[in-house]
Amino acid sequence: MTGNLPAAMRCCTATFQRWAVLSGGNRAVSRASGSSLACFSWKHINIDTDSNQSTFRTYSTQLAYFGKERAVAIEAVECASRVCQAVFKRLVTEETLTKKDKSPVTVADFGAQAVVNLILEKHFPDDPVVGEEDSKDLQGEEGRVLREKVVDLVNTVTEQPLSSDEILRLIDRGQYAGGPKGSHWTLDPIDGTKGFLRGEQFAVCLALIVDGKVRVGVLGCPNLPYELDKPDGERGVLMVAVEGQGAFQRRLHGGGRADEVPIHASKVADTKDATFCESVEAAHTSHGDSANIAKLLNITRPSVRMDSQCKYAAVARGDADIYLRLPQKAAYEEKIWDHAAGNIIIHESGGRVTDVNGKPLDFSIGRTLSANKGVIAANANIFDTVIDAVQTTLAGKF
């Protein structure tokens, strides 16, 4: 859970007033204070960083590794979550649902990507973004109706109105190719689009990748119950993890850093006591293969089907013990934005994640996880047993 960081880096104080030492080329070193962006004053200080991009430095015991990135990512995810929630309230109606009209989620997708990219650009102008969406469907006369809706939506949350060209440019900041060197963000403005439309689980997902590894991950889960055993109680969870610092949950739009509590994957040691979760959509995971794996593992509880990276959130806080994402088609390449934030949150909660062959997910290749097939996440106690059952069931198919 604490990764390979020096001990001094693991003992960050609970207060949020610390030095952020950033790796990755010419990233600046900044000082963050406060608990929401509105009360931050960023002071850029030139510190001679090593040319070796993966070198971390300790300046004091108040050091926070990726402190500014963490705060900005939370701010961006909260803001985008508000945009999505506003769209749901305003545009998702009985009528759109019965007509299977996907336009509300499309408006929210573009709006959320523009808002996150606006905030990232303000604080990290040199960081590229690998985002799911692009502005193609918003261009020209054909895209006019949708474009106007997106522009109206985005301008409800900006300080000053932005032009439609500016908003399209912000959306297209997500076109970066990714790769093994330097820093980039990856964004899924709404993961679980179908869950969003049903009023069920969806997530705003943002992660920072430096030198091919996920270092910071934030999941905004507006419809996730804050406590598992109170499904009809308070909803809205934000999960955050930074490499080597553990994983935390707090209320989405809640009390800030003071509200954070550490989360841990479950300790279930016998798979017969395990609960697993998987996609609702049969096209995204093989429900037949997962039923066979469950039999091999003596799992008798029904699977929990849930959209989006909320499945990672469920395993990270011990609501479920296993997440199975089993390829339906060998040709499908998982996208980095569908897994980056969830991946670090699982690792930092003490769980493990690999593909179906037990290989770590490789975020260094580009926009997709082209070296991997499927995803398996589980608590560390049962992980190897789960992978054995997956391998037996899939019999080398992938």
Ligand X SMILES: Nc1ncnc2c1ncn2[C@@H]1O[C@H](COP(=O)(O)OS(=O)(=O)O)[C@@H](OP(=O)(O)O)[C@H]1O
Binding partner of residue 131 among Mg ion, ligand X, none, CB cut-off 5 to 8 Å per kind: none
Segment contacting ligand X (CB under 6 A): 184-192, 238-246, 354-362, 385-393? Answer: 184-192
Shortest separation between residue 338's beta carbon and Mg ion, angstroms: 4
The sheet carrying 63-65 orders its strands as: 43-45, 29-33, 17-21, 63-65
Q: What is the DSSP string of 152-166?
A: HHHHTTSSS---HHH
Q: How far is CA 38 from the centre of its chain?
A: 23
- How many residues belong to the site for ligand X (CB under 6 A)? 19
The residue among 31 and 311 lying less far from ligand X, judged by its C-beta, is: 311
The minimum distance between CB 219 and Mg ion, in angstroms, equals 12
Separate counts of helices (H) and strands (E) for the chain: 11, 16
Select the span of 40-48, 190-198, 362-370, 376-384 touching ligand X (CB under 6 A): 190-198
Which 324-343 positions form the footprint of ligand X (CB under 6 A)? 328, 332, 335, 338
Q: Which of 49, 106, 186, 193 is catalytic?
A: 193
Residues that bind Mg ion (CB under 5 A): 132, 188, 190-191, 338
Kindly tell me which of 211 and 281 has the beta carbon lying closer to ligand X: 281
- Cβ-in-10-Å burial (0-12, 13-18, 19+) of 358 comes to middle
Q: Could you tell me whether strands 375-379 and 322-325 are parallel, antiparallel, or unpaired per DSSP bridges? A: antiparallel
Query: How far lies 160's CA from each of 147, 163, 166, in Å?
Result: 18, 10, 12
Least distance between ligand X and beta carbon 371 (Å): 16
Beta strand spans in 226-300 (E): 235-242, 247-251, 261-262, 276-278
**Residue nearest to ligand X as judged by C-beta position:** 281
User: Cβ of 95: how many Cβ atoms within 10 Å?
Assistant: 8
Q: Which of 194, 235, 251, 253 binds ligand X (CB under 6 A)?
A: 194
Report residue 231 CA to chain centroid gap. Answer: 22
Residue 191 sits in the site that holds ligand X (CB under 6 A) = yes
Q: Which is nearer to ligand X, 66 or 276 (CB)?
A: 276
Q: Least Å distance between CB 253 and ligand X? A: 22
Both tokens of 48, joined, read: 């001679």
Q: Which residue has the closest beta carbon to Mg ion?
A: 191
Place of tokens 């959130």: 313
Q: Is 384 a catalytic residue?
A: no
Please, which of residues 72-131 interact with ligand X by CB under 6 A?
A: none
Burial bucket for residue 50 (CB in 10 Å: 0-12, 13-18, 19+): exposed
Residue 308, contacted partner among Mg ion, ligand X, none, CB below 5-8 A by kind: ligand X
Of the listed pieces 121-129, 191-199, 218-226, 261-269, which binds ligand X according to CB under 6 A? 191-199
193 labelled catalytic: yes
CB 42 within 8 Å of CB 30: yes
- Site map (CB under 6 A) of ligand X, residues 128-147, x = contact: ----x---------------
30: left (phi > 0), else alpha (psi -120 to 50), else beta? beta
Coil, strand or helix: which one is 220?
strand
Q: Is 198 in the site for ligand X (CB under 6 A)?
A: no
Work out how close the CB of 93 gets to Mg ion at its nearest, in angstroms, rounded to a whole number: 21
Q: Does position 319 bind ligand X by CB under 6 A? A: no
Cα(30)–Cα(48) distance, integer angstroms = 13
Residue 192 interacting with ligand X (CB under 6 A): yes
195 binds, among Mg ion, ligand X, none (CB under 5 to 8 A by kind): ligand X
Judged by CB under 6 A, the residue of 35, 85, 186, 193 near ligand X is 193
Least distance to ligand X, CB of residue 301, Å: 19
The residue from 127, 172, 260, 307 that contacts ligand X (CB under 6 A) is 307
**Distance (Å) of CA 298 to CA 244, 301, 302, 305:** 34, 9, 12, 19
| Side chain identity, residue 234 | E
Which partner from the list Mg ion, ligand X, none does 281 bind, CB cut-off 5 to 8 Å by kind? ligand X
CA 94 to chain centre: 29
Catalytic positions, written as ranges: 109, 193
Query: Which residues are near ligand X by CB under 6 A?
Result: 132, 188, 190-195, 279-281, 283-284, 307-308, 328, 332, 335, 338
